[in-house]
């Protein structure tokens, strides 16, 4: 299929630039016949006791950093992936690409430090942060709002550009798993009261999630690698749920990609990198239902949705989303999708 097939008109005013006051007040489009228009606090009505909810409990690092070269030229750095405790793979925007050995000065408030470029990996730079990587980004970085949110991050973003169930030990993501941002602590407690089981995995979201598909044919697009950790317990519970006829409900495309990576490769557990690219024709082995936000035109995430519910159904739901004035993208509304079994 051609990338142009995944284009649609997205009015700029439908791009949500900030969160609504209460997480669960966001709207929820139900992929049913006929289509239903609900709110996220209604989600519990569509979940049964034999179902399994799987969430990505990654945590966002303040992954965008600004600084100067020793020559005086300014640069902007965005984390792609942590490599170890003090080195990282990053994108660097500057007038000239830094060479190996280049020292970059970073300053925020009254703190200063230096980092060093130590190599390249395709379009990315490897940098030595000269200190613990999480300490570096938490001290010198800012929240990496998506490029379509055209404002600087503020105090509200610190509170809301994350899930209520994040695990700070997994603080390594460049973007929040936004489908999960609709959940409140109260809603999670209500799900547990209904005896709905909730389990967690980890996928650290890289900056590639914002990268548009620019190839003419979607099959030529290359997905950036991201780190995932899916435990034996998660795999076992997914299998048990399917064996008793329950639905495996993935909260977000990151969760779905992590689960399907493991089941596509017939693994009992996995900790490592994935570059799974899910497009129409993909055979899903584990996930039955998906909570996800509305995605950008011509994005890999929109292609994933088309693979999950069918291309024509995806087009239909997005036309409805625009006509019904849903809020789109990271701070926007959600949809609850059911896998197309055909």
Identify whether residues 174 and 131 lie together within a single domain.
no
- Cα first-last separation, the chain: 18
pTM of the model: 0.92
Q: What is the pLDDT confidence band of residue 207, given thresholds at 50, 70 and 90? A: confident
Burial 239-252 (b: 16+ CB within 10 A, else e): eebbeeebbbbbbb
Same domain, residue pair 267 and 320: yes
Q: In terms of domains, do 308 and 216 share one?
A: yes
Confidence grade of residue 342 (pLDDT, cut at 50, 70, 90): low
254 in any annotated domain: yes
Boundary residue ending a domain (82, 110, 140): 140
In terms of domains, do 193 and 312 share one? yes
Percentage, residues of the chain above pLDDT 90: 84
Q: How many domains does the chain have?
A: 2
Same domain, 307 and 169: yes
Q: Are residues 133 and 211 in the same domain?
A: no
Nearest to 211 by CA among 303, 292, 282, 138: 303
Final residue in a domain of this structure, among 112, 140, 168: 140
Question: Is the Cβ–Cβ distance between 175 and 205 less than 8 Å?
Answer: yes
- 152 lies in a domain? no
Residues 32 and 94 grouped into a single domain: no
Smallest CA-to-CA distance from 208 within 178, 175, 176, 180 is with 175
Between 199 and 148, the higher pLDDT residue: 199
- Residues 42 and 191 occupy one common structural domain: yes
| CATH number of the domain to which 170 belongs | 3.40.1780.10
Answer yes or no: is 171 within a domain.
yes
262 and 182 part of one domain: yes
* Per-residue model confidence as pLDDT tens digits over 61-86: 999 999 988 788 899 999 999 998 89
Average pLDDT for residues 114-123, to the nearest whole number? 89
Q: Which CATH number does the domain housing residue 102 bear? A: 2.40.10
326 within some domain: yes
Does residue 76 share a domain with residue 209?
A: no
Which domain, by its residues, includes 102? Answer: 64-140
254 and 134 in a common domain: no
Q: Report the pLDDT averaged over residues 224-251.
A: 96
Please identify which residue in the block is written with the tokens 């076992």: 236
What pLDDT is attached to residue 147? 87
Whether residue 264 is found in the same domain as residue 162: yes
């Amino acid at each position: 299929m051609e990338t142009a097939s995944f284009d649609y008109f997205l009015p700029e005013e439908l791009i949500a630039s900030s969160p609504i006051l209460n997480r669960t007040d966001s709207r929820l489009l139900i992929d049913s016949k006929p289509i239903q228009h609900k709110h996220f606090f209604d989600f519990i009505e569509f979940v049964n006791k034999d179902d399994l909810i799987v969430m990505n409990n990654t945590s966002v690092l303040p992954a965008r950093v600004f600084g100067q070269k020793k020559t005086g030229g300014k640069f902007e750095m965005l984390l792609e992936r942590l490599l170890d405790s003090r080195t990282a793979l990053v994108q660097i925007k500057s007038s000239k690409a830094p060479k190996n050995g280049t020292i970059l000065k970073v300053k925020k408030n009254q703190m200063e430090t230096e980092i060093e470029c130590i190599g390249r990996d395709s379009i990315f730079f490897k940098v030595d942060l000269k200190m613990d990587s999480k300490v570096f980004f938490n001290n010198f970085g800012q929240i990496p709002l998506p490029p379509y949110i055209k404002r600087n991050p503020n105090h509200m973003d610190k509170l809301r550009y994350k899930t209520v169930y994040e695990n700070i030990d997994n603080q390594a993501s460049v973007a929040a798993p936004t489908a999960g941002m609709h959940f409140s602590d109260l809603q999670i407690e209500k799900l547990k009261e209904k005896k709905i089981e909730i389990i967690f995995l980890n996928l650290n979201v890289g900056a590639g999630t914002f990268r548009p598909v620019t190839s003419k044919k979607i099959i030529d697009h290359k997905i950036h690698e991201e780190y995932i950790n899916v435990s034996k317990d998660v795999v076992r519970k997914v299998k048990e749920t399917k064996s008793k006829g329950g639905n495996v409900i993935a909260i977000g495309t990151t969760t779905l990609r992590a689960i399907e990576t493991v089941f596509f490769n017939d693994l009992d557990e996995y900790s490592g990198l994935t570059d799974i690219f899910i497009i129409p024709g993909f055979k899903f082995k584990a996930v039955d239902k998906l909570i996800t936000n509305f995605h950008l035109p011509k994005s890999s995430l929109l292609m994933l949705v088309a693979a999950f519910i069918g291309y024509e159904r995806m087009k239909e739901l997005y036309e409805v989303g625009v006509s019904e004035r849903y809020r789109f993208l990271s701070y926007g509304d959600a949809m609850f999708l059911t896998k197309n079994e055909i």
